[in-house]
Amino acid sequence: MKSPVPIADCHGHIGVHPDFPSYKVEPAEMVQTMELLNIEILAVTSTRACYTDCPRGNAEVSEVLKRYPKQFRGYVTVNPQPQGEALRELEHWAHFHRPPLIKLHPYLHRYPVNGGGYRPVWDYANQTEAVVLVHTWDSDPACSPLLLLTIARDYPRTSIIMGHSGGTWNGYMQALEVGRQTPNTYLDITGSQSHRTILELLVKSVGADRILLGSDMPYLEAAVSLGRVLTAQIPDGAKEAILRNNFMRLLREG
Amino acid sequence: MSESAIETCLREVADWHVFDANVRMGRSGIHGGLALEPPELVVEMDRNGIEQALISHFTAVEYDAFEGNTALAQAVNQRLVPCWAALPETDFIKQLDERKPAAVRLYFAPLRHNFSPAPWCSGELCSFLQDGRILTLIAAEDIGWEALANLLENFPGLHVLLLEAGYRADRYLFPLLRKFPNLYFDSSTYLGHRQLECFVERFGPERIVFGSRLPLYTPGAALAVLATARISDQNKRAIGGGNLRSLLESSEQ
């Protein structure tokens, strides 16, 4: 099985995880998986940055971008703590991509996405028309999709990707509510919970143009999201939009 | 797209004669419109190239095990193979025995059937399952790793199919698989990057069976993971259906 159209994947990582063994995580091995599934572009975040160390993690992304400029795009991952580091990181790695790709992980950084520490980041994102990928989860006090409703309105020049779309069925409903009310938000289908009929519901409710394929590779197997999209009962045009066109548009490529 | 994506996607699946180990049917108070009755379930199976399914009934877990089994008995056929609910009660075991079960599913969790897998509670039931070589399905969240290890220690002849072990499971799963040769697991949540092919490289294909979690989750995800694993077609057929058929035939014998 291979995607019939080259995929632009909005949600990938580099690195390992503390709580389970990771497999074939070297960038060269990831590229092999990408070729196998026909993933042309993968936007990656440093997992190290999501857990412990943004400067070192972003430097690792920089190295991967140098080695594989065609296949990878890089998010700059920032943490509101320690104070001031986030803006320094965004400016230091501003060359990763235009518009900037920014990753926030309020759950692992234990800081609410609407907290004051993130305000300079949102200001920067709004000024630069950045694409901001936020890890979201069902009703989580730090990263419920519903917390992004006000943020999306306050920072209308950003494009906000709701990572995992809240994850659970209820989380998806929260993300859908945000998507319905704000034009600058996108639903990322990354995740292991491949709810039956949810993709059809998203397309019907907010349109295929607001849905993005993410894989969480090399954390999750990228075929999970590919299989979900290919077997969904939606038009082929919607599948193409989700697999490729929507994220390419956000990247302003192609 | 030059052809229907689903046709492309499912072409090779048809060759595996997929036997899905993790399917439920009937009305659910928890899952609402996602739950399906047999006619709609079969439509979904057909759409995804699933030939047969080992099915449990939502009523058996959400309300009453006996009533769920009775409803299940009315639905089963060549394609929908029953996986009966079982309780640690002598009368229930007798009724179960009359059904000549090949597979049962146990729900130990407090908010489910609320009983212990330890011999002081489940001894009669587990001895019955072990002696009859009845395949025993247990979801990981219904038992926990320590209790599972104890169950396998206490009933070394019990054939256990662990459902939904999860992609984070390997540090528990691998030692258990090495120690207990009658432990198997389903692929429904074994979704880590290249995890399936790495497992087969290490353990071979015999200990894993295909599962989808229909009707709550789309089978497309688990099917795509198997389809894109860099393992032989023979191994895909074993995982897709062959292993489960062998386990059930062993039960029936």
The predicted-structure confidence for A30-46, as pLDDT tens digits, reads as follows: 999 999 999 999 999 99
Q: What is the pLDDT of residue A152?
A: 98
* B148 token code pair: 């599972």
Calculate how close chain A gets to B99, using CA atoms only, in Å: 32
Calculate how close chain B gets to A127, using CA atoms only, in Å: 36
CA B82, CA B84: separation in Å to the nearest integer? 6
* Residue B251 binned pLDDT confidence (cut-offs 50, 70, 90): confident
Record: contact B6-A219, CB cut-off 8 A: no
- Ordered by where they begin, the domains of chain A are 7-251 (3.20.20.140)
Tell me the ipTM for this assembly: 0.96
Q: What is the pLDDT of residue B244?
A: 98
Record: contact B1-A5, CB cut-off 8 A: yes
Q: What is the pLDDT of residue B59?
A: 98
With a cut of 60, say whether residue A214 has pLDDT above it: yes
CA B56, CA B53: separation in Å to the nearest integer? 10
Record: contact A196-B214, CB cut-off 8 A: yes
Record: contact A240-B1, CB cut-off 8 A: yes
A236, B1 Cβ separation under 8 angstroms: yes
Confirm or reject CATH 3.30.70.330 for domain B5-252, answering yes or no.
no
Query: Which tens digits make up the pLDDT trace of B149-158?
Result: 999 999 999 9
Q: What is the pLDDT of residue B11?
A: 75
User: Given its phi and psi angles, is residue B3 left (phi above 0), alpha (psi -120 to 50 degrees) or beta?
Assistant: beta
CA B7, CA B13: separation in Å to the nearest integer? 10
Domain boundaries, chain B: 5-252
Q: Mean of the per-residue pLDDT values for chain A?
A: 97
* Residue B13 binned pLDDT confidence (cut-offs 50, 70, 90): confident
Q: What is the pLDDT of residue A254?
A: 77
Query: Which tens digits make up the pLDDT trace of A88-117?
Result: 999 999 999 999 999 999 999 999 999 999
Q: Considering only CA atoms, which of B170, B176, B236, B172 is closest in space to residue A223?
A: B236
Best mutation target, A230, A234, A242, A245, to test chain B (most B CBs within 10 A): A230
For residues B233-248, give the mean pLDDT: 98
With a cut of 80, say whether residue B6 has pLDDT above it: no
Nearest-by-Cβ selection for B220 from A19, A219, A228:
A228
Instruction: Please count the residue pairs, one from chain A and one from chain B, whose beta carbons lie less than 8 angstroms apart.
Output: 131
Residues forming a β-bridge with B52:
B19
With a cut of 70, say whether residue B236 has pLDDT above it: yes
Record: contact A194-B48, CB cut-off 8 A: no
For residues A52-59, give the mean pLDDT: 98
CB contacts, 8 Å: B224 with chain A: 1, 223-224, 226-228, 230-231
Calculate how close chain B gets to A11, using CA atoms only, in Å: 14
* Residue B15 binned pLDDT confidence (cut-offs 50, 70, 90): confident
CB contacts, 8 Å: B10 with chain A: 231
Q: What is the pLDDT of residue A248?
A: 98
Record: contact A23-B195, CB cut-off 8 A: yes
Record: contact B3-A4, CB cut-off 8 A: yes
Query: Which tens digits make up the pLDDT trace of B132-152?
Result: 999 999 999 999 999 999 999
Q: Mean of the per-residue pLDDT values for chain B?
A: 95
pLDDT, greater one: B245 or B8:
B245
CA B107, CA B85: separation in Å to the nearest integer? 8
CA B69, CA B74: separation in Å to the nearest integer? 9
